[in-house]
């Protein structure tokens, strides 16, 4: 009988292997045998944990998505003022992306390939973003920020954070002449610059 620790380690290896294969080949191009080989297990054991490629993909996608969402929502907690929270959200998000640069591209690629399937996966995760919307609306009412749709503000922040990551080859080659160190320095600087840029665009001056 397989003990719980062994099961956990095996499942972690499967998720890591599946993530690598799915990122390289997408859902359509990935094969269960490839994932088993990458995880260093036989295909029968892989099927013991996940009966189909679709089930495994759903797990990998949820894992990838949950890497970001809970931490971002948590960054909006606490007694700090809205602008401090916004700075924390940007820094948290960019740090997460920096550690997992493949995930945004993976999510965007699969959303464009089969949006309906992935929308259903996201719905099952039941992520509640309403507290963030409410926080933005409260700041508008207090007249600390200009009137803006909460969804627009969130999309603006996410876009400013994600684009340099998914467009790394273009950004690094064209803007930084192929310099990896300059590109990384830019990412580090954006942990404060993005928030300052957004705040200056929405803050109502005294």
Per-domain residue ranges for the chain? Answer: 1-51, 63-202
Mean pLDDT (the chain) is 86
What span, in angstroms and rounded, lies between the C-alpha atoms of 26 and 204? Answer: 45
Is 25 a residue whose pLDDT tops 90?
no
Q: Which of 118-122, 130-134, 144-148, 157-161 has the highest mean pLDDT?
A: 144-148
Phi, psi of 13 (to 5 degrees): -65, -40
3-state helix, strand and coil shares in percent for the chain, rounded to the nearest 5: 80, 0, 20
Which among 73, 65, 83, 201 is positioned nearest to 122, based on CA atoms?
A: 65
Which among 28, 19, 15, 31 is positioned nearest to 114, based on CA atoms?
A: 28
**Token reading at 25:** 């080949």
Encode pLDDT of 56-91 as tens digits: 988 887 777 776 666 667 777 788 999 999 999 899
203: three-class secondary structure by DSSP: strand
94 close to 195: Cβ distance less than 8 angstroms: no
Q: What pLDDT sits at residue 183?
A: 94
What span, in angstroms and rounded, lies between the C-alpha atoms of 202 and 204? Answer: 6
**Token reading at 80:** 């700090």
Fold of 1-51: Arc Repressor Mutant, subunit A (1.10.10)
Confidence label for 175 from pLDDT (cuts 50, 70 and 90): very high
What span, in angstroms and rounded, lies between the C-alpha atoms of 89 and 75? Answer: 5
What span, in angstroms and rounded, lies between the C-alpha atoms of 52 and 43? Answer: 11
Q: What percent of the chain has pLDDT over 90?
A: 46
Q: What pLDDT sits at residue 3?
A: 59
Which among 137, 158, 155, 156 is positioned nearest to 147, based on CA atoms?
A: 137
Q: Is 63-202 the same fold as 1-51?
A: no
C-alpha 73, offset from chain centre: 12
Q: What CATH number is given for 63-202 in this structure? A: 1.10.357.10
**Average pLDDT of the residues in 109-131:** 75
Encode pLDDT of 90-108 as tens digits: 998 888 888 877 777 777 7
């Amino acid at each position: 009988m397989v003990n719980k620790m062994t099961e956990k380690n095996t499942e972690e290896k499967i998720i890591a292997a599946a993530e690598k294969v799915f990122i390289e080949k997408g859902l359509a191009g990935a094969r269960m045998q490839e994932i088993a080989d990458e995880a260093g297990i036989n295909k029968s054991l892989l099927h013991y944990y996940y009966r189909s490629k679709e089930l495994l993909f759903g797990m990998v996608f949820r894992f990838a998505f949950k890497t970001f969402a809970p931490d971002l929502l948590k960054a909006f907690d606490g007694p700090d003022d809205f602008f401090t929270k916004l700075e924390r959200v940007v820094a948290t998000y960019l740090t997460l992306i920096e550690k997992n640069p493949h995930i945004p591209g993976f999510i965007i690629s699969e959303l464009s390939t089969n949006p309906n399937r992935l929308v259903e996966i996201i719905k099952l995760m039941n992520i509640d973003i309403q507290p963030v919307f409410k926080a933005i609306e409260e700041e508008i009412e207090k007249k600390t920020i200009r009137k803006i749709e909460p969804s627009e503000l969130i999309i603006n922040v996410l876009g400013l954070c994600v684009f340099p990551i998914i467009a790394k080859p273009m950004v690094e080659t064209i803007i930084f002449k192929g310099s990896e160190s300059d590109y990384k320095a830019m990412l580090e600087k954006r942990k404060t610059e993005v928030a300052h840029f957004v705040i200056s665009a929405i803050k109502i001056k005294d």
